Amino acid sequence: MHRPRGGRARRLLAAALLSLALGGCESTELTIEIPSFGDGNVEGLWLWKLSETTGQYERSGRIALSAPQSGPEGETLDYLEDCSNGRGGIGHRTWLERSPGDPATVTVALVYIPCDGLGGTYRASAYNQAGESALSATAIAF
């Protein structure tokens, strides 16, 4: 998919500036594949952080996803990151890539700022009005 030149650099710069504005919180880019998103079956994602105390995954942040938007450069997706600790929402935009074999499955690169400002090991679940999926089989550490 063709993308405007400098798009990744602009996203990284925006993430860095956002990190500074949030008092030095570190951000990371998570690449996530979301099955059924293209069918309208996913409204957002929960990110779960492994607790060093309990050894269990605990909800850490929610990412609300908008409907895809088509433009001359391809499809984009707006999303809002909310924290379970009460920190306000942070809006972002990313490119959306559809799987050639299953257009309902999309891959997105999401800028994520850990809600507690610390890295860790994370898993994800998807949600919609009907409920929530099981935790992802894959864990990401950052």
Burial state string for 3-39 with b = 16 or more CB within 10 A and e = fewer than 16: eeeeeeeebeeebeebbeeeeebebeebebebeebbe
Percent of the chain whose pLDDT exceeds 70: 79
Predicted pLDDT of residue 131: 94
Lowest mean pLDDT among 6-15, 87-96, 97-106, 107-116: 6-15
Q: Taking the C-alpha atoms of 114, 15, 32 and 7 in order, what is their torsion angle to the nearest 10 degrees?
A: 180
Predicted pLDDT of residue 86: 63
The whole-number average pLDDT for the span 82-95 is 80
